[in-house]
Structure formats: structure tokens, C-alpha cells
């Protein structure tokens, strides 16, 4: 059975009941896979490329990944936290250097790396217009890495901004942890979280990634169901 390993942050991680209704993209991605493929989700809340590597999480993937597997690499949210030296990376230097480490680990084991640009936050102004965005430099740094290393890239940053712009401020709330008090018995308080996803958002953005992989075709798309 081939495995898709996923390295990333809270927008990707698999959640349990204690964080319900939060849901990560990697958590729902098996919905899009043909029989014989599985996801091993190593994404973790709050991690950047730097902290993921320094905590030994990339090493743990290297211990398990094998020939023919894939490694999805999706970071940016926490790499931009310049106030935190344990996580911050510079988008056109240390961020790229770290991404290259992920790529090397995959290739050394005969696996195939895929870069996925960071998911956009809900960033609307007071008039309901989508603002310039948070992760542009990190998306650009990832694109530069993809070009330099000849690695396929899925531009989730661009696609998520397009979806947010089309849906608008009010409609897009249902994709994120943005809801009124009393909506969930498990999370009774009001939430205005514009970063983390609920199930509907995770499925939406997971479907965008899956469609782009099918377009890439071959080893990068033959494991995605038709939909």
C-alpha cells in the first residue's frame, strides 16, 4: 500500500474530539484517494519548517517513508512569525533551505515530494473585500524552491484566495472556525478564528488539492478518485 506522508501545520493536522469542530486538510484527504492508498499525517499545530525539523518530525518521516510514497510539504503560517525565533524563517533564504531538506529526505528514500503553498486566512476588510493577504512571500519562496528543485507545486494559496473572494466574508465563515456562541455543544463559546478550518472547509480545500494533483497526472495524480 502506497502512503502519502504529510508535513505541515494546524491547517493540515488530524484533530481529535478535544479540538472539535476543528478539522485539518490531511484529516479528510483520504476521501479523495483510490483504494490502496493511505495518508500518514505528521502535520502538527503551530509548527514551521524550522520547528518541525528541530523537533525531529522530519526525521520521523524519514524513518517511515519508502520508495513510491509521496511527501506533501505545506508550510508558511508559522514560518512568518518573526516575533518567535524558534519558528521564524526568512521566506527567500532559510525557508527555502528548510524546504530543500524536506525534498532531500523524500528523494533519498525513493519517494516523491510535492510542495503545497499555504492556505490563506479569512482576511476581509470592513467593507467585505479580500485584503492583500498574509502569506504571499512564503508562497513565492515555495514556488522558487519548486522551480529550483524541479518539484511539482500545488498553489493552494492562490486557489484559496480565489474561493474566499468568490464566497465573500459571510459565506466563507462556514469553512473556518468562525461561529456564534452555542453553535456547538462541544465548543459552546463564540469563535472568530480566521485561520483554522471546520470539516466543510477542510473538504473544500482538500478537493482543490486533489483536482490539481489529477491535473499533474502520472505518479502525482493516479491515486486520486474521479469526481
CA distance 84 to 96: 18
pLDDT (mean) for 63-68 = 97
* pLDDT for residue 132: 86
Catalytic annotation, pick one of 171, 181, 186, 189: 181
pLDDT tens profile 121-144: 999 998 989 998 878 899 999 999
CA distance 15 to 26: 10
Whether 47 has a pLDDT exceeding 80, the answer reads yes
Write the CA distances from 199 to 137, 171, 173, 212, integer angstroms: 28, 15, 12, 20
pLDDT tens profile 197-218: 999 999 999 999 999 999 999 9
Beta bridge partners of 224: 33
What pLDDT band is residue 1 in, cutting at 50, 70 and 90? Answer: low
pLDDT tens profile 142-194: 999 999 999 999 999 999 999 999 999 999 999 999 999 999 999 999 999 99
pLDDT (mean) for 63-88 = 95
Which DSSP letter does residue 194 get? E
Architecture of domain 2-220: 3-Layer(aba) Sandwich (3.40)
Q: Rounded mean pLDDT of the chain?
A: 96
Which DSSP letter does residue 86 get? T
Whether 61 has a pLDDT exceeding 70, the answer reads yes
What pLDDT band is residue 5 in, cutting at 50, 70 and 90? Answer: very high
* Of 8, 71, 3, residue with least CA distance to 202: 8
* Of 134, 155, 153, 136, residue with least CA distance to 145: 153
Beta strands (DSSP E) in the chain are 2-7, 37-41, 70-73, 112-116, 153-154, 176-179, 191-197
Burial class (CB in 10 A: 0-12, 13-18, 19+), 69: buried
Is 186 labeled as catalytic in the residue annotation? no
Is 226 labeled as catalytic in the residue annotation? no
Catalytic annotation, pick one of 10, 51, 160, 172: 10
* pLDDT for residue 133: 80
pLDDT tens profile 98-107: 999 999 999 9
Is 172 labeled as catalytic in the residue annotation? no
Report pTM: 0.96
Catalytic annotation, pick one of 77, 109, 135, 196: 196
pLDDT (mean) for 69-93 = 95
Amino acid at each position: 500500500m502506497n502512503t502519502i506522508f504529510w508535513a505541515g501545520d494546524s491547517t493540515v493536522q488530524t484533530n481529535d474530539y478535544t479540538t472539535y469542530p476543528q478539522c485539518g486538510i490531511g484529516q479528510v484527504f483520504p476521501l479523495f484517494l483510490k483504494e490502496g492508498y493511505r495518508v500518514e499525517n505528521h502535520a502538527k499545530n503551530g509548527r514551521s519548517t524550522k520547528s518541525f525539523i528541530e523537533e525531529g518530525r522530519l526525521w520521523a518521516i524519514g524513518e517511515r517513508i519508502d520508495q513510491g510514497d509521496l511527501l506533501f510539504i505545506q508550510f508558511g503560517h508559522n514560518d512568518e512569525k518573526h516575533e518567535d525565533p524558534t519558528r521564524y524563517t526568512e521566506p527567500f533564504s532559510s525557508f527555502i533551505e528548510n524546504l530543500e531538506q524536506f525534498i532531500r529526505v523524500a528523494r533519498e528514500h525513493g519517494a516523491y515530494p510535492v510542495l503545497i503553498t499555504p492556505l490563506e486566512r479569512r482576511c476581509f476588510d470592513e467593507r467585505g473585500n479580500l485584503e492583500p493577504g498574509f502569506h504571499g512571500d512564503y508562497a513565492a519562496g515555495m514556488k522558487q524552491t519548486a522551480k529550483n528543485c524541479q518539484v511539482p507545486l500545488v498553489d493552494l494559496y492562490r486557489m484559496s484566495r480565489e474561493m474566499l473572494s468568490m464566497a465573500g466574508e459571510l459565506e466563507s465563515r462556514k469553512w473556518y472556525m468562525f461561529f456564534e456562541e452555542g453553535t456547538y455543544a462541544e465548543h459552546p463559546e463564540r469563535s472568530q478564528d480566521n485561520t483554522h478550518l471546520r470539516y466543510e472547509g477542510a473538504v473544500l480545500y482538500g478537493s482543490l488539492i486533489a483536482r490539481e494533483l489529477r491535473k499533474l497526472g502520472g505518479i502525482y495524480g493516479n491515486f486520486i478518485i474521479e469526481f
